[in-house]
């Protein structure tokens, strides 16, 4: 009984990592390539391939949860997705053009008002 609860917890953990990896991969593929370089991060191609590998490892852990070394590799996949979501994604901004969305900035109006 305890062993089956342990396997269920691992499966839930692996599925959560898979969802995290898919979320990061989808977000990375939707961003423009120039935004990565403008934000001072690695290229879009680099992050896409890292997240594809992470998603594949997480999927392999969900499907073949009985393989012992997949647990460690799944943690590496989680680290890759977390680094993207916590470091790279915020640097890309809402439109993916560097910090704060990039684009041309207007100087503040000197005529007063709101």
List the chain pLDDT tens, one digit each, 114 residues. 767 888 888 889 999 999 999 999 999 999 999 999 888 899 999 999 999 999 999 999 888 766 777 778 899 999 999 999 999 999 998 765 555 544 555 555 556 555
Q: Is the residue at 26 inside a domain? A: yes
| Residue 75 tokens, joined | 């943690």
Is 102 within 8 Å of 51 (Cβ atoms)? no
Number of domains, the chain = 1
Q: Is the residue at 51 inside a domain? A: yes
Query: What is residue 51's predicted lDDT score, i.e. its pLDDT?
Result: 97
Q: Is the residue at 17 inside a domain? A: no
Q: What is the pTM of this model?
A: 0.77
Task: Give the separation between CA 99 and CA 2, rounded to whole angstroms.
Answer: 48
Distances (CA, A) of 15 to 49, 55, 62, 71, 72: 20, 11, 6, 12, 15
- Backbone φ and ψ of 67, nearest 5°: -85, 120
Q: Which residue range is the domain that position 86 belongs to?
A: 22-93
Q: Is the residue at 113 inside a domain? A: no
First to last CA, the chain: 66
Q: Is the residue at 100 inside a domain? A: no
């Amino acid at each position: 009984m305890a062993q089956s609860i342990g396997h269920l917890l691992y499966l839930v953990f692996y599925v959560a990592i898979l969802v995290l990896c898919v979320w990061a991969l989808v977000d990375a593929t939707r961003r423009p390539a120039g935004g990565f370089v403008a934000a001072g991060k690695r290229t879009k191609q680099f992050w896409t391939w890292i997240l594809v590998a992470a998603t594949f490892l997480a999927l392999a852990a969900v499907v073949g949860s009985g393989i012992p070394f997949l647990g460690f590799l799944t943690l590496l996949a989680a680290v890759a997705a977390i680094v993207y979501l916590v470091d790279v994604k915020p640097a890309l901004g809402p439109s993916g053009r560097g910090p704060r969305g990039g684009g041309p900035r207007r100087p503040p109006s000197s005529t007063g008002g709101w």
